[in-house]
Amino acid sequence: MTPGLRLPPRPQLSSIARPMKIDSATSTCIILAPGKYPAPAVIVYGGKDLPVFGRTGGQWLSTQIPSGLKGRVVFVLPKDFSQKKPPVKCFEIELTACLKELWNNISPTKINSYSLCGYSRGGERVYKYFSGPVDWKILGLIDPVTPPDENLLDGVKSKIRCVYSMENWGGAGGNPGGAIWTFHEHLLEQKVNMVTCDGKARVQHRDMPAKFFNTYGSDLIP
C-alpha cells in the first residue's frame, strides 16, 4: 500500500436499497441481507436430503423464504460442502462459524434480535444450541427430528414455534408410539405454539419451510 494512501470506508449495508445475497466459494453460510437496519437475524439449519431437491443446503432454503421477509430479516443459511473430503452437510456446520461469518459481514450493532431454526435434521442444532451462545428470540422447529430428551426444551417452550406432520415421517417414527409421534404429543401437552399439518391440512416435508415462514414470519421480527 502506498504511504499516505487510505482505503475508502467500507460501504454501510444500511445504504443498500434492496435485499442482497452475500456468498462466496469459501463461505460456510449464505447470508441474505435486508435493505435496512436494525434488523433481526435468523439462522436456519437445513436437513440431510436438501441436495435431492436440486440445490444444496442454504441455496435451497433461500428459495423457501417469502420475499417480504427477506426485506426485513437477516437470514443466515449454512451450506453443504459436497466437494470436501469427507463431505460436510449443512446441519453439521458449527453455530460459532455461522455467527462469525454473520458478524464479519454485518455489525452486531445492526442486529436487534437472534432466532435459531432447524428444518428436518437441522433440528439437531436447535437442540444443541437452544441455551446460547446468544439469547434467542424464537426457536423454530420445522418438521424436525426428535431431541435426545423430549423434555429438553420445556424450559424455553414459550420461544418455540413449530410446524409438524406425522404423515411425513410415517414409519420413521411418525406412527403412534414412534419417536416423532411421541415428541409431537409432548409438544401438544406443553401447549407450545405449533401447527400440525396432517389430514386435509397435510403439507409435504419439502414444503414445510415455506409453511413455517408464512405462519410465523412476523414472530421473528421484534
In which residue ranges of the chain is pLDDT below 70? 1-18, 49-57, 81-85, 87, 171-172
d(CA 13, CA 139): 26
What confidence tens digit (pLDDT) does each residue in 90-119 have?
Answer: 788 899 999 999 999 999 999 999 999 999
The pLDDT value given to residue 24: 80
d(CA 126, CA 132): 10
Written as nine digits, the cell of 30 is: 449464505
Q: Which residues contact 104 (CB under 8 A, 6 or more apart)?
A: none
The pLDDT value given to residue 90: 79
The pLDDT value given to residue 98: 93
User: What residue spans of 17-94 are helical by DSSP H?
Assistant: 58-61, 67-70
The pLDDT value given to residue 49: 61
Angle at 34 between CA 28 and CA 39, to 5 degrees: 95
Cβ atoms of 88 and 13 within 8 Å: the answer is: no
The pLDDT value given to residue 82: 61
The pLDDT value given to residue 120: 92
The pLDDT value given to residue 221: 96
Cβ atoms of 30 and 59 within 8 Å: the answer is: yes
d(CA 222, CA 212): 17
Sheet holding 20-22, edge to edge: 20-22, 29-33, 74-78, 39-45, 111-119, 136-142, 160-164, 193-196
Q: Torsion angle of alpha carbons 39, 77, 129, 37, nearest 10°?
A: -10
The pLDDT value given to residue 32: 95
| pTM tops 0.75, yes or no | yes
Cα separations in angstroms, 3 against 6, 7, 9: 8, 11, 17
Domain boundaries, the chain: 16-220
Domain 16-220 class?
A: alpha beta
